[in-house]
Amino acid sequence: MEGKILASEKIKKAAVIGSGAMGHGITELLAMNGYEVSMVDINDEILRNAKEKIKWSLGKFVEKRRIRQEDADATLARISTTTSYEEAGRDIGVAIEAAPENMDLKKTIFAKLDHATPSTAILASNTSTLSITEMGKATKRADRVAGMHFFNPPHQMALVEIIRGDGTSQETVATLAELAKKLGKTPIIVRKDVRGFIVNRILGAAFNEAFWAYHRKEGTMLGIDSSVKYTGGFPMGWFELADFVGLDIAYEVGKILYEAYGERFKPCSDVIDPLIREHKIGQKVGVGFYDWTKGRPRIPFNLLDEYDVDRSWAVAVNEAAWLIRDDAASPEDIDTGMKLGTYWPQGPCEHADRSGLDVMTNKLKDLYTKYNMEMYKPCPLLEEYVSKGWIGKKAARGFYK
């Protein structure tokens, strides 16, 4: 609107709490886009290392001629480091917390930020799974506490999930979405503080289906991954992707989804637990489902028919339907999230509209009859749409009109 100053225009300075894998990347991104950033961690050595990583990364951008040396220098000059929350928080417009994934720690940090920052500042968390509402309760400004979930690495991945806690104001959500756009990102809105938000929740459903199929010996690891990649057009197979993400992280997220949604996310413990026990947690340690010591696993082309990829789609569509039914997300944001957050070739809602919601629902019903597992039980929203004849493109109405 003409004359109206966007709330995000008021943000000139930011603090980033935690300078690890995500925190240093978020700091770099903010500073590259003109923000003054104070990066906070528990000691100076960690902060020095983080700043070195940023310097190295900016050097790479210069090498690739994406930015000029003077831009890199100016970016670095906008970053300061400190172990003091008071110093970092003094006159900021936003703080983004990227400390380890532990609720007690995050609550302590939010309480400290509440004291150390202007009362108008927005306090955001980069948490992958934890409750934004709980973090808000640790402050006296729950209306200005929200999730701002970047994907790894933050400068490369285009997606940011903005999560609304129970107390978060609409203005805070809108301001963070504007800020994400100013950083060159596409924000999607998670309207409720649901576990797994959008992307990890739908991905978790696809992982689980594949792990159970493998457990029941309906496919081999290579066969499932070959089908997912070469028939489904996904960038990686599910086992390859789980290794890439880290089985420790996939395991933790899986546990949280199970706690939140019950039997629909029953984890396939026989497949994943032994690997966790032996610390075979994927690419970062050289072994998980696959051996990564000689680089990426080679997924053979000739097994591309071994697994029915529509099964992955069916559980993903089902979870998308649950998100919509709970009014936690829109079909557009779900599809954008899966395409930008995990490079899926289509979003689940688009896929269902093209293939037919009736086809997807029947697939789920068949699987439910066969295996009697909750993950296959069609969401009531799917049944409702199908009964109304909203079966997708062929009816001009499905998830989309």
Ligand X SMILES: NC(=O)c1ccc[n+]([C@@H]2O[C@H](COP(=O)([O-])OP(=O)(O)OC[C@H]3O[C@@H](n4cnc5c(N)ncnc54)[C@H](O)[C@@H]3O)[C@@H](O)[C@H]2O)c1
- Point out the residues that are catalytic: 149
- By CB under 6 A, tell whether 281 contacts ligand X: no
- CB 349 to ligand X: min, Å: 23
Q: Which residue is nearest to ligand X (CB)?
A: 20
Helices (H) and strands (E) in the chain, counts: 17, 8
Angle at 148 between CA 281 and CA 255, to 5 degrees: 35
- By CB under 6 A, tell whether 267 contacts ligand X: no
- CB 155 to ligand X: min, Å: 13
* Residue from 14, 15, 98, 257 binding ligand X (CB under 6 A): 98
Residue 262, strand partner residues: none
Under 8 Å between Cβ of 58 and 33? no
Give the Cβ contact number of residue 6 at 10 Å: 14
For 350, residues 6+ apart whose C-beta sits below 8 A from its C-beta are: 335, 399, 400
Under 8 Å between Cβ of 323 and 198? yes
- By CB under 6 A, tell whether 126 contacts ligand X: yes
- Looking at residue 379, the DSSP 8-state letter turns out to be P
Q: How far apart are CA 26 and CA 23, in angstroms?
A: 5
- By CB under 6 A, tell whether 99 contacts ligand X: yes
Q: Which two tokens stand for residue 226?
A: 């070959």
Q: How far apart are CA 110 and CA 141, in angstroms?
A: 10
Q: Which two tokens stand for residue 101?
A: 């994934």
- CB 292 to ligand X: min, Å: 17
Q: By CB under 6 A, which span of 40-48, 114-122, 186-194, 201-209 interacts with ligand X? A: 40-48
* Residue from 8, 117, 128, 312 binding ligand X (CB under 6 A): 128
Site for ligand X in 162-221 (CB under 6 A): none
Q: How many residues bind ligand X (CB under 6 A)?
A: 23
- By CB under 6 A, tell whether 77 contacts ligand X: no
Q: Closest CB to ligand X among 51 and 311?
A: 51
- By CB under 6 A, tell whether 29 contacts ligand X: no
* Residue from 14, 15, 16, 17 binding ligand X (CB under 6 A): 17
Tell me, residue by residue from 338 to 377, as one string, x for binding to ligand X by CB under 6 A and - for no binding: ----------------------------------------
Q: Whose CA is closest to 122, among 103, 99, 102, 96?
A: 96
- CB 130 to ligand X: min, Å: 7
For 111, residues 6+ apart whose C-beta sits below 8 A from its C-beta are: 138, 139
Q: By CB under 6 A, which span of 148-156, 190-198, 258-266, 339-347 interacts with ligand X? A: 148-156
- By CB under 6 A, tell whether 41 contacts ligand X: yes
For 233, residues 6+ apart whose C-beta sits below 8 A from its C-beta are: 345
- By CB under 6 A, tell whether 318 contacts ligand X: no
Strands 13-17 and 94-97: parallel
* Residue from 11, 14, 22, 367 binding ligand X (CB under 6 A): 22
Residue 189, strand partner residues: 162
Q: Closest CB to ligand X among 127 and 175?
A: 127
Q: How far apart are CA 245 and CA 151, in angstroms?
A: 11
* Residue from 8, 18, 110, 328 binding ligand X (CB under 6 A): 18
Q: By CB under 6 A, which span of 64-72, 88-96, 149-157, 188-196 interacts with ligand X? A: 149-157
- By CB under 6 A, tell whether 58 contacts ligand X: no
Hey, is 324 helix, strand or coil?
Answer: helix
Q: Which residue has the tokens 């991954």?
A: 225
* Residue from 46, 123, 329, 375 binding ligand X (CB under 6 A): 46
DSSP string, 177-222: HHHHHHTT-EEEEE-S--TTTTHHHHHHHHHHHHHHHHHTTSS-HH
- Residues engaged in binding ligand X (CB under 6 A): 17-23, 40-42, 46, 98-101, 105, 109, 126-128, 149-150, 152
